[in-house]
Amino acid sequence: MRKAAQKHFKEEEHMKSAKKALVTAMAAAVAFSSTVCVSAADETIALTLWGAEEDQDLLKELVGKFEEAYSDQKFDIQIGVESESTAKDTILTDVEAAADVFAFASDQIYDLQNAGALADLSEYDEAFQAVAGKSLDDVKAANSESSVEAATIDGDMYAFPMAGDNSYFLYYDSSVVSPEDAASWDSLLAAAEEGGKQVGMVLASGWYNAVFFYGAGFTTDLNDDGTTAMDWNGTSPDGYTGVQVTEAMLNIAGNPAFMAIADGDTSNQIASGDLCAVVSGTWDAQAAQEAFGDGYAATKLPSFTIGEDQVQMKSAFGYKFVGVNAYSENIGWAAVLAEFLTNEEAQQARFEAREIGPTNKVVVESDAVKENLAISAAIEQSEFGVIQRVGGKYWDPAKTFGENIAQGKFAADDEEEIQKALDTLVEGITAPVE
């Protein structure tokens, strides 16, 4: 049954023969939970779906396939535009008015769940099986363990994994930078200087600058009350101090071959021709290809120097999910749609349309994905990825801290001033939620 359910795009005849049985099963699922809204086949199921502007054409195609797969049921599915990066802010302004099904970045899952905006999919597994012909265990088995872990809170699943490349790595021009040069910041910057180029990275963002601290063994975590726990002003379990990490950041930022890029301006700086390497993600693959031409290459992030040690950067690694609104009047069908938009065929279609990295194990192992330099680099970096768990008070202090590093507001040898800056950073981030 699972295999048949995974082939909506290819086994139309099989699905047509199974639809009446599935609709009947859905009606029976009412007995399982009164909150799972289902309908008779002659009733119209109204659903709203939010996704990124770049995904609108693909979503229309996938929704059309969904309606074909469940052709015995009438649907009215309206598709709206909402970026994964801003979904939480929009949804939490009025959860009940938000879409039934929506895409969002994985770092938003705790805030959405705490606000009661996400349906606990585990509660509807029996009804979901009756309609979709597969269980949540099947969904979990089909996707990477880390993506499922990121979609799970206290043992319950709150979203379907959609994409697995929401992180960053290193693009470089192999005509200027060798693979060996790209392995560490020291050799990378030396190669850039020799080639009359620069290496770019965003520092004024807590998503990017955390890479140094995570690499050195420091952590962030989310407390039950929504505050952030962090240890960056102390000593990590790996034996490094926050002062040492900050000194390393200042040394890199102070190198004339380094370019501190403003958040949101990476694509423009790549296009400028001034860079021979840049820290970014799959969304800048096209820009890097155009800028670096035949030299286009990508790999995991470089290591950086603390004392005599080379410390591997560990990136804030995230996923993109599709969730179901807990206030949906048609949670049952909403869950079926959300899974359909994230299944093997949908992830394959998303990769083919936009080169979005998959979480589905079959798609990950496809030749096309393996041959994609950017996605391969993202997968390589995922071995050094950290699921970033932070509260809302994290972002502004982390941004300010990164700006001060980029602007050289304190000297690399001024340990007292650096410690004060770290104490201020941690104090602001860990402050109680008002």
pLDDT at 21: 38
Q: What confidence tier does 13 reach under pLDDT thresholds 50, 70, 90? A: very low
Return the CATH fold of 168-317+375-429.
D-Maltodextrin-Binding Protein; domain 2 (3.40.190)
Give tens-digit pLDDT for 76-124.
Answer: 999 999 989 889 999 999 999 999 999 999 989 988 999 999 999 999 9
Q: What is the mean pLDDT of residues 285-298?
A: 96
pLDDT at 39: 53
Q: Is 168-317+375-429 the same fold as 2-165+318-370?
A: yes
Residue type, 404: N
DSSP 419-432: HHHHHHHHHHHTSP
**Residue 36 predicted with pLDDT over 80:** no
CA–CA dist 348, 369 (Å, integer): 9
Beta carbons of 201 and 207 less than 8 angstroms apart: no
CA–CA dist 306, 231 (Å, integer): 18
Give tens-digit pLDDT for 122-153.
Answer: 999 988 898 889 999 999 999 999 899 999 99
Q: Let me know how long the chain is.
A: 434
Rounded to 5°, the CA angle 93-96-99 comes to 90
Residue whose pair of structure tokens reads 């050094």 in the numeric block:
384
Give the tokens for residue 381. Answer: 């970096």
Locate the domains of the chain by residue range. Answer: 2-165+318-370, 168-317+375-429
Contacts of 214 (CB under 8 A, 6+ apart): 313, 314, 315, 316, 386
Which stretch of 97-101, 341-345, 381-385 has the lowest confidence by average pLDDT? 381-385
Give tens-digit pLDDT for 43-59.
Answer: 899 999 999 998 999 99
> Cα-Cα-Cα-Cα dihedral of 6, 374, 57, 85, to 10°?
100
Helix (H, G, I), strand (E, B) or coil at 15: helix
Q: Which CATH architecture has domain 2-165+318-370?
A: 3-Layer(aba) Sandwich (3.40)
